[in-house]
Structure 1
């Protein structure tokens, strides 16, 4: 029995692009109006390909409600799902549960690396299209919204398998107990308190980096300079900062370049476990997440079975190569 696909899911993180790094760097402030403009463009791209069933996560700032108010298009079912927004990552997770139940073919995420991590914590079964509205975004695309919507619609309509890429993930274990996942990096740090939750690279003791390019920002830029890691990467990088054998120039955040000391690094095959250094706080994907005692055992397992995300470039190349943009008269 064929199951009819449900609505394309949309999650807009109201908190992305607003943290304290606006006080310590040149990171832009991503307000609700900008996010509303981006998602309107995404939806217009989707609609142009014939997608007419779209559901949106509500948020405490009312971005979703303003979207519904502004976009009233005949023949398009644009709705808000039924959850009570709390203003944290539980909103994303609860929305994923609903989208899974409704058999959504794709979920579009407006946020940063933390947003797609929260989604992947709940499900790796649904393809994601992450769009950047955060700060040091490594995985989400910085792309014009209409292009993203067009690629998403083509992906659904033509079932473009070539347009999917597989992310690795890090399974985090503390004293052999599974805690959570990361999609970019896991680090031990010298922080003793959560504080603002953001990370100064000079406070990191050691890191496992699984996604990063030489053009990335933050810890991913260091890992990406050592080894270029993207979707389907068979390798990851372990970096130990507890020494000064090497010095590397890294973009810590927009407009902030720092010289970072490195003790040593190694390139490792995906599928391996790393025993992390002793520390006080565990960082994942740019945020302080878990306090630990100095004697706790922290293991990062780099798992190849992570979530799948759309590759916008490959989708549009497929459309071009197969001349699917043309309509016969």
Structure 2
């Protein structure tokens, strides 16, 4: 029987940017409701797929299973829980190994990145319930479920429904050995010398980095790059930026650096990159971030960044539903049940 995986990150959408910026709060009650809607959406096809759900300690998985429609066989994936991002990665790896036909992910860029690192070629429907939401779509959970069902059952071929998204690999040689980091939309360099609360909050800290996509409607470094040169999610390569003090820069842009935070950013240089083309940044004292979160503390080293073409296969929800309708996959040939008096 065809299976769909469901991953809901309880920690997504709940970081410090709710206090310091204008990021919306997505509590676990809302995520339970979204997960419930995803399972309802699976019933749009004649033979709904089964679903396995990543377990969690916030009740998202239990609620989705208990409230699943009669037509959907829902179960909880059996994996050990740590209450960290390792749970998401472990679930994604299991879904890949077990051969699920599609995965729905509830989270932000960080959650989607964790899934991308382990999911392989399994199509991913990324639903925005996080803080940085450059990659996930702000789509209703029910609609996301319909798209997942169409792809999982083969009603819409993967080639018509998905596009490969790039990833950014960061590598630095330090006194303690090689350090590596993967990002999905953006790898950022910050002048802050400590990770702290992780969130990139002060525009003055941002020194540059590399993005795999760019649009002025994005958030963070992708928005800065997009104000100058747009890069579609399925375009090859990416963009490298070196930033400077806007008071001294010959080129400046206004961009949304974080939810509720707009700023004037000075651009020293901007360079289009091909797949696997490396660019290097000297880091006297700072941090390399991934998708809006500070991760690697570095001192007196050089970090090498490159965009690689082996990111996740992301489902285009709108295109998938349109293709499903064109193929007649949403039409019912069986008679509707009748109510007897």
- Whether TM-score is above 0.5 comes out as yes
Tell me how large the CA RMSD over aligned residues is.
1.8
**Out of 50, 55, 74, which is 1:53 matched to?**
50
Q: Which residue of 1 aligns with 2:279?
A: 274
Within 5 Å, which residues of 2 pair with 1:115-130?
Answer: 115-130=111-126
Q: CA deviation at 1:123?
A: 3.2
SS where residue 138 of structure 2 aligns? coil
5 Å-filtered alignment, 1:195-210, equals 195-199=196-200, 200-210=202-212
> Could you say if the C-alpha distance between residues 205 and 134 of structure 1 is closer, same or farther in structure 2, counting changes exceeding 3 Å?
same
Moved more, 242-251 or 7-16: 242-251
1:11, distance to aligned residue in structure 2 (A): 0.6
Question: Which of 217, 229, 232 is the matching residue for 1:230?
Answer: 232
Q: Say whether 1:304 aligns with 2:309.
A: yes
Match of 1:80 in 2: 76
Which residue does 2:337 correspond to in 1? none
**SS of structure 2 residue aligned to 1:162:** helix
Match of 2:165 in 1: 167
TM-score (normalizing by structure 1): 0.92
How far the C-alpha of 1:21 sits from its partner, in A, is 0.6
CA distance in 1, matches of 2:94, 2:198: 29
Number of matched pairs: 323
1:22-75, Cα deviation, whole Å (9 max, x unpaired) = 11122111001111111111110112223241011111212211222333x434
1:152 CA displacement: 1.2
| TM-score of the pair, normalised by structure 2 | 0.89
Give the SS at the match of 2:244. Answer: coil
Deviation beyond 6 Å, 4+ runs, structure 1: none
Q: Distance in 2 between matches of 1:137 and 1:102?
A: 28
Mapped partners of 1:121, 1:322: distance in 2? 32
Aligned residue for 2:290? 284
| Runs (5+) with no aligned partner, structure 1 | none
Give the whole-Å Cα distance in 1 for the aligned partners of 2:34 and 2:5: 15
Output the CA distance in 2 between the equivalents of 1:227 and 1:125.
Answer: 29
Structure 2 counterpart of 1:102: 98
Q: How does 1:210-225 map to 2 (within 5 A)?
A: 210-225=212-227
Provide the rounded CA distance (Å) in 2 between the counterparts of 1:182 and 1:60: 26
Q: Distance in 2 between matches of 1:325 and 1:52?
A: 15
CA distance in 1, matches of 2:263, 2:208: 17
- Deviation, structure 1 residue 194: 0.9
In 2, the alpha carbon distance for the partners of 1:75 and 1:189 equals 50
Change (3 A) 1:320 1:65: closer
> Offset at 1:227?
2.2
